[in-house]
Structure 1
Amino acid sequence: MKRLLIFLCLFHGFHLSAQKLSATKGIEQLRTIANQSPAKNVNKNVLNFLTANQEKAFIDDSHYNVFLHEVDTFFNESQDNYLDVLFFLGRRFQLSKQNQDAFPYLYKIELLMTPGKSYEFECEFYELMGLSYFFFKRYEQSKVYLNKSLNCSNTTEHAKINILNTLGLIYSTSDPEKSENYYTDAIDLAKKTNNTVWVGVLSGNLGVLYYNKNQYELARKFLTIDFNTSKAAGEVESALSAMTQLIEIDIVFKNSSGVQKKIQTIDSLVAVYPKMQRNMSYYRSKALWYEYTRDYEKALELYKVEQRINDSINRLRNIVNANNTEFQIDFEHRQAKIQVLQEQSRTSKRIMIGLIILVVIIAIGAYIIILQILKRKKKEKELLELKNKRVKENLEKTEQEMQSVLKSLMEKNETIAKMNEELELLFLKMDRTEEEHKHLTDKLQSFTLLTDEDWLQFKHLFEKRYPGFFDFFYTNYEDITNAELRLAALLKLNLENLEISKTLGIGPDSVRKTNLRLRKRLDITEQKDLQKLIQSIA
């Protein structure tokens, strides 16, 4: 049901009867739309209602203006189409010459437009801003916006004419040459689009410019165009103004007949439009005529009337200017306060965001540091475990290699011993001389002794397994022999005498004798004490 109501409001403008809207009725209908629209569609529906119900839908302009002044209480600033509604209001007030009402809406659009983003109303917005600043006599700002609109791709030909004319007015006193160029370009564009009204207005402005530059023939040409165009369009005031300056030009050239004809033309215009008798241009033209004809009394009288009208116009203009100046000062003062409050709000938000970011950074930093510490500890633990594993593996490998060497030596010596026994039996069976028997025995015994290469290999493996063992004996017992060291090393390995004899390739008696010499050197009596000492060494 609500959707149906909104539909009727938007697409039929609430024209449920032939009666036109009053301001109150329009506001009530707009309130209904705003209240029954989803939040995201409020601005869109408000804009549709405004578009469908403009001046002609209301009783008169006063009702419509009252209605428009209440519109901004219904739209949502945070939703889409907000700028479109602002532009509608600013444009409507500007076109109806309510510049003070239009400016706040246009100014707010300027603040809210996103740089780099394009808007459908952008070209016309620049034109309206330029005209607003021109109205408030802020010409530098006006030139900026007018040129933006002039260079905008969607600016209409009619708008360009208005812009060029306004730029011509701005430069008319400060840079007449530039002003002339703007007026000329505008006239060319007006002729191209067959806009006779603008041709007349621009011709008048260009004629005044040439008159002020004392280029009277050019001034006469364009003022004549202005007069004829204004007269044809019923713009009597503009026609009178143009004719007055044409009279002044004829006076400069002392063209009596020309002046008289123009006075007659003015009188005929005033006869048709009696209200023009109160026009300042009328009194000025008549005063010029009486002064030219040397009727100074009437001329002075008319000059005084002209002056009174001029003073009245100036007083009114000064009031308007003062009012506009007061409006701008008050508006800018309010905007400055708003900007200060907004900046304070933004500063507070920035500080809050900064603190939040700082806390987050600290938290992230602390998390990363803790994570790194945990990772480092985990890695150190893994490295330690790996190192211990490798040490253990190396020790086990060394032990295996040493045992392998010992086993190899023992097997080799056992083989040699067996061979020795076999040779002994062989010698007993063979018929040999005593000298030959002794020679072979000496050779065999020489063969069964542990070689230096075997010893060095064994010693290297032993030192890996028991580092510092041999250093103990070298440090404390400098005269110790290699045989005693070998015995000590094998005792460290807990080998029995028979195993030692096989390893060293010597007889058990030789092992006992070496053992005795070792205990003597170490000043130890009992074998168990020797064993205990050797086991205590590294």
Structure 2
Amino acid sequence: MIRSVVFITTIFLLAVTTLQAQQEPALVFSNLGKQAASDSAFMAQKEAYRRAKDKTAAALALRQMGRICYHLGHYPQALDYHLQAGTLFRETRQHMLLAENLNDIGTLYYYNRQPALARPQYDEALRIYRQQRNNAGLAVTYGKIGHLYEKQQLYDSAFYFQRMALGGYGQIADRGGMAKIFENLGSIHEDLEQYDSAQYYFGHALALNTDSLAKIEILNNLGDILRKTGSYREGLEQTRLAVALARETSEQYQLSSAYRDMAKGFHLLRQPDSAYQYLELSRFHLLDIYSTESGKQLALLQTMYDMEKKDREIENLRNTRKATVAIVILGLLLVALALLVISRQRLKIRNAELLHLREQEQMRSALEHREALEQNLKQELELRSKELSAHTLHIIRKNQLLEEVHNQLEQMVRDDKRDQKKQLKQLQLQINHNFNHDQHWDEFRGIFEQVHQSFFDRLKAYCDHLTANDLRLVALLKMNIGSGDIATLLNISQDSLRVVRYRLRKKLNLPQGESLTAFIQSI
């Protein structure tokens, strides 16, 4: 008999441990009941989202889709929908809806085990509710923050915010809200093992509550308190009330939880048969819940998959159409670009040809101008040469004439006509003076240098100590004038001319045998 009791007790403890390990995820389904989310509800919200005519309607549909996923335990997907809804609520400045959505996001972060991210969501919701002076929203958010601190075992902060919530519900006379806060306070006292206070707050919560599901939870909590304080039979009475109410309302999860509490009570009363029986009932209902909800989750997941697949197909079709249109537009743009490039190239070639023709024309004009200028210069040079030759010839003739006159006068002077001698002598002196006058030399040199440019400069670079008479002789030699004419022009004899040429050769350092005329022509 003792071995049997030990065996049943061991099985009971293992079962209780297993159920407690499963309790946290099972909480997701505790509030489904008549509000049970299904694939049809999700599809309805998805369709509402597609047909939404404004951002607010789309955000409401997204939030409902998030809540459905939350109640079925799909937290990441639920969080994504709520975040999308929050973005739209911000854009449309729907402050109250945004605050409610922030509370939902905070709860999701908590269930995702990210409490550090949950608190900022609640804080922003509080700021909005304060700005809008919404006491009900403040009370709800205070309660959520208190619950968050309770789960983190920060009980002082949990008490503070739960009392803030209680005060808020009291101001608006919300009995259901006050009942929920009393239940939360009872849970905190229970965690602190302050069972009298816990029983006090659970009692207040039960008295104020009108919601059947909440009453079942409170009755189960009261049963726990009584068991923990040693009042096993009184605890079983509270649990039996919870079982009856759960059967009446068809709350399967609460019924399973109540059966498990009854198994604990009978175990403590050392009635292993009854404990085992109720433990099996609890397991049966819990498995039934999981089976039902797993089917719902699978149906929802299949629906979500089908819808996402259809959305992807539609999006792919749209993308294909967009890609086709984009390709056509790109092709047209490329053709237009090619035509533009060809046009620009043709225009560039045409402009280059015109520029080339213009340059050729300019070069032709410049060449013609240069040829005309050279022709003018050539003509002018020829003219100057003719002038120089004419000038030289004129000088030669003048000197020849003067020489003849000089000779005649000399003959007259030899005569004995004393009365004419003095006048003739003066005339002879005047003629001699005319032979040596340089008045025409500057004019001659100017014309000479125009014909033979820079000749004297080159000559002086070779020999810089030549006299004016030397320069005259060199100029006449450069013009290829004969020795007789040179003697006449210089008004000297042939012998004197040979002496002058000899001195010039010495000044120019010409070697014996080199022609003076050839040398001067080479300069």
TM-score (norm 1): 0.49
- Structure with the bigger RCO (C-alpha within 8 Å, sep 6+) is 2
Larger radius of gyration: 2
The structure with the largest helix share of the pair is 2
